Amino acid sequence: ELEFEIGANNVLYFLVDTETKLFYIGEAAGLVDRLRQDHSTIPKWNYFRYNVLPDEMFPHRKTIERMAIRDFDLF
């Protein structure tokens, strides 16, 4: 299904492995290229979603990713 996401750039994305209940948050300049790379911390993810950030947020993408990770860090 990734071929439908071509053009999704400057994103914050979320991967889920529904069997093991693992959750991963990442950022990418280009979603498709990033999701085609290895995700060794969650190798069997079977669900994803993403948010496209406004262009002016491009320099702050990593900071937003870290904030989202802290928001989900419950332990």
The model's pLDDT over 10-58, given as tens digits with 9 standing for 90+, comes to 999 999 999 999 999 999 999 988 988 999 999 999 999 999 999 999 9
pLDDT at 4 > cutoff 90: no
Q: How confident is the model at residue 74 (pLDDT cuts 50, 70, 90)?
A: confident
pLDDT at 2: 66
Which residues are 41's β-sheet partners? Answer: none
Q: Which residues neighbour 62 within 8 Å (Cβ) at sequence distance 6 or greater?
A: 27
pLDDT at 75: 62
Backbone angles phi, psi at 70, to 5 degrees: -65, -35
pLDDT at 3: 66
Q: Determine which helix (DSSP H) or strand (DSSP E) holds 28, and give its type and residue range.
A: strand 22-30
